[in-house]
Amino acid sequence: MSDRVRTAILISGRGSNMAALAKAAEKPDFPAQINLVISNIPEAEGLQKAADMGIPVAALDHTHFNNRRTFDEEMQKHLLANNIELICCAGYMRILSPWFVSQWPDRILNIHPSLLPKYKGLNTHQRALDSGDKEHGCTVHFVNEALDDGQIIDQKTIPIAPNDTSESLAKKVLKLEYPLYSKSLYRVAKNIIASK
């Protein structure tokens, strides 16, 4: 169906979440299609994965730009040129500029490896262990100007085992992320189509 929501995925690394979203979007009844993958790291593994799946890619080296805003303006050109309607951050390790976020109100999703509002930022698994938490998980949320602060779309939890390390937790949470992100993208894209 051609009325699917045109979606871009921003990555910085392996692109495992990107690949999971792209796989989900291959189903004919999925309301979003992945039309572009952008990375701020030209050698990011995920770019090759995306290309192998037939998805157009763009590598924009953030070190070639004077500041965050000029980088984001260049990214915006690529998004507009591809008629993108929705953005998913998937292991994208840059903070988006307030200007960029303002261009995409309620149209940027992110997946974060903690049960927000707990543990915004980095090292979430170790922080959950250090706090003696009984459970941990991941959150899909809308992106706003503050870090890991936008409206929560969905969450998935797992119990923390007594022998868990930050590495073992990271692996467990990553497995949760793929289906959760796909489900959240499905829901948001459905709402966008309904509001058209």
pLDDT in tens, 114-137: 999 999 999 999 999 999 999 999
Domain ranges of the chain: 5-195
**Using an 8 Å Cβ cutoff, are 153 and 106 in contact?**
no
Query: For residue 10, what are the β-bridge partners?
Result: 38, 89
Burial of 131 (0-12, 13-18, 19+ CB in 10 A): exposed
CATH number of 5-195: 3.40.50.170
pLDDT band at 1 (very low <50, low <70, confident <90, very high): very low
Report CA dihedral (66, 91, 85, 184) to the nearest 10 degrees.
-150
Query: For residue 92, what are the β-bridge partners?
Result: none
CA–CA distance, 56 with 35 (Å, rounded to integer): 6
Residues serving a catalytic function are 112
CA distances to 13, 69, 189 from 175, rounded to whole Å, are 17, 33, 22
pLDDT in tens, 141-184: 999 999 999 999 999 999 999 999 999 999 999 999 999 999 99
